Structure 1
Amino acid sequence: MHISRRNVLIEWGDCDPAGIVFYPRYFAWFDASTANHFASVGLLKPELIARYGVVGFPMVDTQGKFYTPSKFGDEVTIETTITGFGKSSFDVHHRLLRGDKLAVEGYEKRVLVKRADDGDGIKSVQVPEEIRTLFQR
């Protein structure tokens, strides 16, 4: 399966008074890493929207496992992969590494959506085979 990587430098504002990363920051980084993952196979979000008529891929479930804290000044690497597809959903796994040490794992379930036919809200759409293929290389 396709793995993308991106580096994050932990800034002062990412940390709590104890000097370690405030846990919601990990979820923001994972969200950006999912968008980066799509970009890594040539599907920048504007192109995804234009090509497939979708409005995005909101998160419907998330989880984090925290093994060791990170702090101001650390540079971490986030590895992202899609581990499975449902009809309209897909599962994303993130591994945040500090050096070669696993610090945090994140899990997301996301759903590909478009605007509802009545224009009020969103509804799920089937993940196109082309997208599945791009990530299963």
Structure 2
Amino acid sequence: MTTNREFHCDKLVRFQHCDPAGIVFYPQYFVLFHEVLEDWFNDGLGVDYARFIGTEGLGIPTVNIQAEFVAPSRHGETLRFALRAREIGRSSIKLDVTACVGSELRAKVEQTVVLFSLKNQCSVAVPPALREQMLRFSTRE
């Protein structure tokens, strides 16, 4: 079933994100994309990300990422991020994330993250309750 449901959040482009030309320095996009992932957990999935890591001992590291920087973003602009879960495997989640200002695409990533036990240092299966929450933002089941 296709839901086409997306998680959205806005991020202000701050001075700290920019190079001397006043545009987002591309490595800062990776920081912003990770913030979006944390926001998805906290606000979209209802999972306290700090507790997820600190108490539950689970991480969600990026194992693959492909980025495309389409147009520059400038200091003071607000980027609208949209996240979709393209595929949810046993322990991996493939995400598509875009950053836009208005209708103009600025950057996008295809990112694979893996649910990971910090104690055992290995991947673990996505728990059924978390999988169910993620499916709400999935392009397919």
TM-score computed with the length of structure 2 as normaliser: 0.84
Q: Could you say what secondary structure the match of 2:35 adopts?
A: helix
Q: Could you say what secondary structure the match of 2:76 adopts?
A: coil
Structure 1 residues 54 and 3: alpha-carbon distance in aligned structure 2, compared to 1, 3 A threshold: farther
- How far has the Cα of 1:49 moved from its partner? 4.6
Match of 2:65 in 1: 62
Match of 2:132 in 1: 133
- How far has the Cα of 1:18 moved from its partner? 2.2
Question: How many aligned positions are there?
Answer: 132
Provide the alpha-carbon RMSD of the alignment. 1.8
Aligned amino acid, residue 17 of structure 1: P
Q: Unmatched 5+ residue regions in structure 2?
A: 137-141
TM-score computed with the length of structure 1 as normaliser: 0.86
Aligned amino acid, residue 131 of structure 2: R
- Please say if residues 111 and 124 of structure 1, whose CA atoms lie closer than 8 Å, have aligned partners that are also in contact: yes
2:57 and 2:90 mapped to 1: Cα distance? 15
Q: Is residue 2:114 matched to residue 1:115?
A: no
Could you tell me the percent identity over the aligned residues?
29
1:102 and 1:50 mapped to 2: Cα distance? 35
Q: Could you say what secondary structure the match of 2:58 adopts?
A: coil
Match of 1:17 in 2: 20
- How far has the Cα of 1:67 moved from its partner? 1.0
- How far has the Cα of 1:115 moved from its partner? 3.2
- How far has the Cα of 1:50 moved from its partner? 7.6
Q: Is residue 2:84 matched to residue 1:77?
A: no
Q: Could you say what secondary structure the match of 1:87 adopts?
A: coil
- How far has the Cα of 1:76 moved from its partner? 1.0
Q: Could you say what secondary structure the match of 1:60 adopts?
A: strand
1:13 and 1:35 mapped to 2: Cα distance? 19
- How far has the Cα of 1:116 moved from its partner? 4.5
| Structure showing greater relative contact order (alpha-carbon pairs closer than 8 Å, 6 or more residues apart) | 2
Q: Could you say what secondary structure the match of 1:38 adopts?
A: helix
1:13 and 1:19 mapped to 2: Cα distance? 10
Runs of 4+ aligned residues of structure 1 deviating over 2 Å after TM superposition are 46-51
Alignment of 1:29-108 (within 5 A): 29-39=32-42, 40-49=44-53, 53-108=56-111
- Please say if residues 57 and 119 of structure 2, whose CA atoms lie closer than 8 Å, have aligned partners that are also in contact: no
Q: Unmatched 5+ residue regions in structure 1?
A: none
